[in-house]
Amino acid sequence: MNAQLQNKKVVCFGTSPGQRKQYFLQEAAVKGGVEFTILKFPGETYLVDYPFRTIEVSWDNLEKDLKCLTRETFDSAITYDEMHVLNLSNCADYLKLKRKPLSSEVAIRCRDKREMKKTFFEHQIPTAEFGFWSEKSELERIVSDMGLCGKDYVLKPALGAASVGVLHVHSDETVKQALIKFDELCHEGAKKVEYGPILEPPFIVERYIDRFGIPVELAVDGYITDSSVVVIMVSEKVDMVRSGPFLENKYITPPLSDFVTKDLQKIEDTARRAIKSLGINESVFHLEMRYDNDDLKVLEVGSRPGGGLISESCEITKGVNLREQHLCLSLGLKPQFPVNRNNSTCFGTVYYQDDFDVDNLGQAIELLTRVNAFYELQTDPRSRKHVLHDWLVAFGVTDCDPKTSYRKFYHTQEEIHQVLHHG
């Protein structure tokens, strides 16, 4: 932990979903000496014992809720949650901060996918063709105007997060059928209080893209400081046909496929252009990119560390803790430079199946411990109704190269399934 974090006063927007993120904040407070003030929003849960001040806040009256802080001065404010990017930028208007967060204009471009798409178009950043719609008639017209009749396309909320509401419409489906499915996805997502407001029109329609019939997606993670973009790692999302086109499941770092390895310079250059076009600075970023046959198209960018076990993978392969770098950058501290550790990680998620016995999860964790896996356990195993949210455990393995780590991951996953099936 960076010694310069000692006695820094930081406001953190949201409790950071996931145990590992919360453990990091706990460690930054206990070992790093950071004096956190955590803003806890409705629906958020503490998964660890927090040794710092918490303020209960609401979505609708945030400025009023924070009046108790207006007499204090903080070194910075951060968030690790996509849902709070705009809240964070707006806080500069009513909190005393020594270092300002992203401006409202930049935050909107990072959070609202409509503004992001328009920015990419204006700066000639390659992205899939898109349009915006609110009513059924608008969607029918745009699908026709974009030449998507009888082709695959994607519908998504402009302010969506965690793939909530994202629908892959297939070529044999009518617009009417697509709208029914999309509406069902949005209603399902809106059951969580934090997702309700973001699942409202206008929405985005964009051309579905893949690499000669097979979806190939990449994640690019790094940071930008003094307007200089540092790409730390490129990961390949594998077996997306098996896991669902928008289910972020298995990541390999470095990439597994030879064609991705050959394109690494192009991938990094495209990522740098996209980051700079949005105006992000002094922040960690997580960028997602897809192949469009032999071309590369940027999907979206987050101005925070990536989710899942990306930070763990980055620390194992490049020696950089993305969560710590995000905190340091918000405070104006010098970030850590990546070092190639000449190894590979493969991580993914085990999802609930009807014949799993959840009581056997303890045995699965014992297995992961024996193989030195890094993992995160679902703390609330009651949700069993939607494939995007019924995960049980995310885990990753480390080995000497991508092919070996890939095989090791699947071998471990098979053993976990056997334990959950039979004990």
* Model pLDDT for residues 365-400, shown as the tens digit of each residue: 999 999 999 999 877 655 555 545 577 899 999 999
Rounded Cα distance, 417 and 354, in Å:
12
Question: What CA–CA distance (Å, rounded) separates 152 from 360?
Answer: 40
Q: Give the fold, CATH level 3, of 3-101.
A: Rossmann fold (3.40.50)
Distance CA 221, CA 223 (A): 7
Please name which of 271, 281, 156, 269 lies closest in space to residue 219, comparing C-alpha atoms.
271
pLDDT in tens, 318-352: 999 999 999 999 999 988 899 999 999 999 988 88
Q: Is the pLDDT of residue 252 over 90?
A: yes
Three-state DSSP state, 353: coil
Q: Within 10 A of 113 (CB to CB), how many other CB atoms are there?
A: 22
CATH code: domain 129-207 is 3.30.1490.20
- Angle in degrees, CA 366, 309, 248, rounded to 5: 110
- For the chain, what is the mean pLDDT? 90
Res 370: pLDDT: 96
pLDDT above 90: residue 415: yes
Does the pLDDT at position 139 exceed 60? yes
Instruction: For 211-241, write each residue's pLDDT tens digit.
Output: 999 999 999 999 999 989 999 999 999 987 6
Q: What is the DSSP letter of 191?
A: T
CA–CA separation, 358 vs 370, rounded Å? Answer: 20
Give the pLDDT of residue 247: 56
What CATH code is assigned to 343-423?
3.30.70
Domains of the chain, by residue range, sit at 3-101, 129-207, 210-342, 343-423
DSSP, collapsed to helix, strand or coil, labels residue 110 as helix
Q: How far apart are CA 29 and CA 8, in angstroms?
A: 10
For residues 137 and 170, what is the distance between their CA atoms, to the nearest angstrom? Answer: 19
Q: Is the pLDDT of residue 245 over 60?
A: no
Strand order in the sheet with 130-133: 130-133, 203-207, 153-157, 167-169
What's the CATH number for 210-342? Answer: 3.30.470.20
